[in-house]
Amino acid sequence: MARPGAACPPPARRVMVAARALLFWALVYSYCGVCACIAGLRLLWSIGRRPGETFRWVVRENPPACLNDPSLGTHCYVRIKDSGLRFHYVAAGERGKPLMLLLHGFPEFWYSWRHQLREFKSEYRVVALDLRGYGETDAPPHKENYKLDCLIADIKDILESLGYNKCVLIGHDWGGMIAWLVAICYPEMVTKLIVVNFPHPSVFTEYILRHPSQLIKSGYYFFFQMPWFPEFMFTLNDFKVLKSLFTSQATGIGRKGCRLTAEDIEAYLYVFSQPGALTGPINHYRTIFSCLPLQHHEVIMPTLLLWGERDAFMEVEMAENTRIYVKNHFRLTILSEASHWLQQDQPDIVNKLIWTFLKEETKRKRE
């Protein structure tokens, strides 16, 4: 008989690993089933109340004027050599200035950074990217093309294609996840890291397994594992879910926030109402459970984490827990009246906090 605490023999260890993996995937797909049942009930309820409206889906033919506002910058495209994908981005500020690269979340696109494009172009070359599968960026058809390794490599390759070897990297929501991972995998390419409403990925995976409340709030991660049905649910009632995410009392911009205008909403509807426009964005989530947890964790550059306390999707406790993974100067600012959509909700405050962090770090470096 093996002594207590002795190492398990290889066959026993393999059995334990297999059992844990089986339990993990059973949890994933069981919760996926629960989320699908809830979505199905909502669909039946909508059909019962408004059968004529439920399946209405209007494809917007022309973009609203705000998407071509010259004050936001210039629409550009770059083709990545390794993947062959063409990426769309909007750039403001003079070429040759330090690069500030902006990564949006879900369900968003480059336009979510409109306030930052205007604000930081005086001192930076500001680039707001459409991530792989979003907007005018190419969308590979298979979900395997959206693994985290591919998304991280995209940012590295785009940086090099733009003629830079380093940048100030800013990410929100899912773009925040990618920003953390780029900072971990390619620290030499990130001078300063700024993340909005997304914790360090290791904090997220550890926290969600121990807190059922966060598991419920992250139910869409599990729901998105299903093929085609999540995309279908988004189209119902002419994208009612999409509109509600930004405007409802439960998940939308806070009471004191800078609410989206009718034209802003139309910009989102224009992008996501196009046929097939939702599959790429949702595919980002369809490989997530095979990619986490991380093998490497530490972030070694100065880091700013901004958090809207009224976030309907992420519990604020994760923000403070992130501190242990940053092995450099770390600043956390929590805005009590702000929502998940922080850089659109409180743009003036967010921009001021970013300026303070950037100038503070420049001064610290000189000293």
The CATH code of the domain that includes 339 is 3.40.50.1820
**Model confidence pLDDT, tens digit, residues 188-232:** 999 999 999 999 999 999 999 899 899 889 999 999 999 999 999
Q: Supply the mean pLDDT for the chain.
A: 91
Question: Tokens representing 271?
Answer: 């992008």
Predicted model pTM: 0.91
165 located within any domain: yes
Residue in 157, 173, 311, 345 annotated catalytic: 173
326 located within any domain: yes
Q: Has residue 352 got a pLDDT over 50?
A: yes
301 located within any domain: yes
Q: Which residues pair with 331 in a beta bridge?
A: 304
Question: Tokens representing 345?
Answer: 């909700």
Predicted pLDDT at 2:
41
Residue in 88, 172, 284, 340 annotated catalytic: 340
Q: Has residue 8 got a pLDDT over 70?
A: no
**In which element (H, E) is residue 129 found?**
strand 125-129
Residue in 31, 134, 270, 285 annotated catalytic: 285
* Of 90, 28, 16, residue with least CA distance to 215: 28
**Model confidence pLDDT, tens digit, residues 272-330:** 999 999 999 999 999 988 776 666 789 999 999 999 999 999 999 999 999 999 999 99
Predicted pLDDT at 346:
96
Predicted pLDDT at 1:
39
Type of residue at 302: P
81 located within any domain: yes
121 located within any domain: yes
Catalytic, 285? Answer yes
Q: Percent of the chain scored above 90 by pLDDT? A: 74
d(CA 226, CA 14): 29
* Of 362, 361, 342, residue with least CA distance to 116: 342
Q: Has residue 3 got a pLDDT over 50?
A: no
Number of domains in the chain: 1
97 located within any domain: yes
Query: Residue 33, Cβ neighbours under 10 Å: how many?
Result: 14
293 located within any domain: yes
3 located within any domain: no
d(CA 175, CA 190): 15
Q: Percent of the chain scored above 70 by pLDDT? A: 92
Domain hosting 99: range is 65-211+287-359
Catalytic, 340? Answer yes
Q: Which residue has the higher pLDDT, 32 or 243?
A: 243
